[in-house]
A and B are shown apart, each in its own frame.
Chain A
Amino acid sequence: MKNILLTLIAVAGLANAHHGWAAFDSKSTVTFQSTVTEFRFLNPHSVVEFDVKDDHGQVQKWQGELTSASRLSAKGWTATTLEPGNEVTISGYRAQSGVRVLRITKILSPNGTEIKIDSGN
């Protein structure tokens, strides 16, 4: 039975601490005016997919990683806190590898209100 318990514990650990943030460049923050295309309210990390228009008006596809759904739940988040079509301002740290991925540190709704996030792992 111990194996079962350990499995559960492992899954719990998975929710919040399965990887660090070293893959992201925390020395500089970038900010985008974004249109949410998908929000996946998941453990161990919730993920926002969003579109950003570049200087030439071309749409770039981005993904932003948030903390776990369980930690976000404690901040009042639900699966519909972000929905496709939402216009939001997203700030965060870019992936060191150069792929279009952010560790999200801040989200502002269209009226400038901050949507509180939990910055935990």
Chain B
Amino acid sequence: MNSVYFLRGGGLFGCLMLVSLVTGQPNVTPAEEGIPVTDPLVIAKCSSCHPRDEREIMQRISWERTTPEDWQEVLKRMILANGVMLTPPEARAMVKYLSTKHGLAPEEAEPVRYAVERRIHDESRMSTENFRTACAKCHALARPLSWRRSREDWQELANMRAARYKVRPSAEVIDLLAKTASLRTPEWTAWNAQTHAPNLAGRWLVSAYVPGRGKYYGEMQADADGDDEFNTRVRLTSIRDGSGIIRTGRSVVYGGYAWRGRSKGSEAVSAAPDAPSSEGREVMWIAPDQSRAEGRWFWGQYQEFGFDVKLRRPSSDATLLAIDPLSLKAGSRANRIRLVGDNIPPQVRTADLDFGPGVSVRRIVSNSPSEVVAEVDVAPDVGLGMRNATYRRSLLPNAIAIYDRVDYVKVTPESAMAAFGNQTRMRGYQQFEAIGYQRGADGRAHTADDVELGPVDVTWSLEIFYAPEGSNTDFVGKLSSTGFFTPDAGNANNNYDVWVIATARSEKDKDGKPLVGKAYMVVTVPTYTFDGRQYVRELDRWVDDGPARSR
């Protein structure tokens, strides 16, 4: 069985690069030395089972590095399996120490971000069959690659897997992991040599996207609360409908770059499971120069809802954050384009805006410090494809598509899962979107040069696999007019394969029939293993929320 984590982000490429680039290269890693463990709490809690020698090297722990989430998992395992007793402040302090001294460098964490950001991710194109068999039958690729271990520790892990799960990775896989994810790496050495104090306090510009709700823009104010913790206040405005959200939260930054927090909206809690004011976990990757951050703020029983966020520091110059709409048709005239940004001066001239050859700015309709609305014409013979949007020196790369027809509609996510619920288990929902595409220069659909045009106005329908057309689907669930799927409330022990069908209202194929896009959704039983011991389940919240203050 191959591992498939459906695509949303770009992390796969980095991950594969990580695997494939290192394979075949000489192992340039110097002889590995363990990482000394110096934290009194870690020593006190762990040394009874993990002896520490005179060089401060601790069995297993000194030979491993990983993400905050994985250290939290380790603590849970130690609590459940080995009877370790921890108070919330102790758990928080240990995760902080381990994630800093035994963490990942930013460059190491970036390719595996998708796992901690709980993104649907496609791992179809894994590089080696052995690696797939050894690790990816059960795990996301990011699970092993979120760890750095000595060769001996990888072997130790393999031995444990062999004993527990009867899966014994080959020597080739151990070699691959030891090279790909070694304990000591140039990135880690370089990062370790720097100071990690996260200088993140102050104002940030935020652009965000919520599937089904579109783009948001706004700002975040981060106030330092200690060396590496922050209280935050975020104000976001929907580009689609102008509605506003204010979220407040609290975050900790591990290792100088790994932002982990929790926030919620100040509005009354909505009954809608996807309400953007919902309490959610914040996971962001802060660039090493601390000028920008990216990540996801997510919630839901299956983490199926969330903001895809990008943060950047404000500039003394104007900064562009977003554009609406996302595409313009060749030969169209008097299109209203809205550019959202920051620090836009009072005087804006048509010459200040540029969308490339063939797109002319007729006039500035309005402007304010946070947006410019302009009217533009697109020449009939304009070059097709993605264009930058520029306001003076501020640029939004590949911000707007110029097209002459919609060739096909893609429903995203193309492969999806939803879960029935019952009285004790919440349902897993799914938001779908219908996105228009034009073929690229190669003239073929579904290839890398296709041009994404943005959402298409469609009607939504469900179809159970191989059921007669028009069959009732109410017992599977309901798909709203906005593509939001709600599983049926009383069907918890069933499984259905369903087509989610988007039929374009306006766009037609060459035969004059409406364009149709389909996604494959499995609506299945709830995950029945959520209920662990509450003591352990709440450890994540201890770590996120901090000690007694929030208890």
Contact = CB atoms under 8 A, between A and B. Distances in A.
A104 interface: no
B303 A43 contact: no
Given A2-B532, A101-B466, A42 B1 contact: no
Nearest to A10: B527
A15 B301 contact: no
Contact of B522 (A7, A44, A95): A44
A11 B120 contact: yes
A97 B527 CA distance: 30
Contact of B446 (A17, A68, A79): A79
A79 B468 CA distance: 27
Interface residues of A, number: 41
Interface string B119-134: 0101111000100100
A118 to B, nearest CB: 9
B6 interface: yes
Contacts of B529: 2-3, 6
Contacts of A17: 1
Interface stretch (A26-34, A52-60, A69-77): A69-77
A69 B124 contact: yes
Looking at A4, A7, A8, A43, which has the most chain B CB atoms within 10 Å of its CB?
Answer: A8
A12 interface: yes
Nearest to B525: A10
A19 B540 CA distance: 34
A3 B530 contact: yes
B338 interface: no
A2 B136 CA distance: 17
A74 B124 CA distance: 8
Given A6-B529, A8-B140, A12-B138, A43 B1 contact: no
Contact of A97 (B140, B303, B466): B466
B29 interface: no
B2 A7 contact: no
B6 A11 contact: yes
B542 interface: no
- Chain B contact residues, majority secondary structure: loop
A9 interface: yes
B188 interface: no
Nearest to B132: A74
Given A15-B1, A19-B497, A40 B69 contact: no
Interface in B437-475: 444-447, 466, 468
B3 A70 contact: yes
B417 interface: yes
A99 B76 contact: no
B302 A7 contact: yes
Contacts of A97: 466
Nearest to B298: A4
Interface string A73-109: 1100001100100000000000101010100000000
B251 interface: no
Given A9-B138, A70-B3, A18 B497 contact: yes
B4 A11 contact: yes
B392 interface: no
Nearest to B70: A1
Interface string B299-317: 0011100000000000000
B124 A70 contact: yes
Interface string A105-121: 00000000000000010
Contacts, number: 129
B175 interface: no
Given A12-B1, A16-B2, A44 B140 contact: no
A68 B303 CA distance: 24
A16 B123 CA distance: 13
Contact of A73 (B76, B124, B137, B140): B124
A18 B524 contact: yes
A42 B497 CA distance: 13
A41 interface: yes
Nearest to A101: B466
A87 B540 CA distance: 55
A13 to B, nearest CB: 7
Contact of B129 (A8, A63, A69, A74): A74
B497 A43 contact: no
B301 A3 contact: yes
Contact of B2 (A6, A9, A10, A70): A70
Interface string B1-23: 11111100000000000000000
Nearest to B415: A43
A99 to B, nearest CB: 5
Contacts of A68: 2, 4, 124
A18 B522 contact: yes
Contacts of A11: 4-6, 120, 417
Nearest to B72: A1
Given A2-B530, A70-B2, A120-B1, 20 more contacts: A1-B540, A5-B73, A9-B138, A9-B139, A12-B137, A14-B417, A15-B1, A15-B2, A43-B520, A45-B497, A68-B2, A68-B4, A68-B124, A69-B4, A70-B124, A73-B124, A80-B444, A80-B445, A80-B447, A83-B444
Interface of B: 1-6, 69, 72-73, 76, 115, 118, 120, 122-125, 129, 132, 136-140, 143, 301-303, 414-415, 417, 428, 444-447, 466, 468, 495, 497, 518-520, 522, 524, 527, 529-530, 532, 537, 540
28 contacts: A1-B540, A2-B532, A3-B302, A3-B530, A7-B118, A8-B115, A8-B139, A10-B417, A11-B4, A11-B5, A11-B6, A12-B1, A12-B4, A14-B4, A14-B522, A15-B1, A18-B522, A40-B414, A40-B520, A41-B446, A43-B124, A68-B4, A73-B124, A74-B132, A80-B444, A80-B446, A80-B447, A83-B444
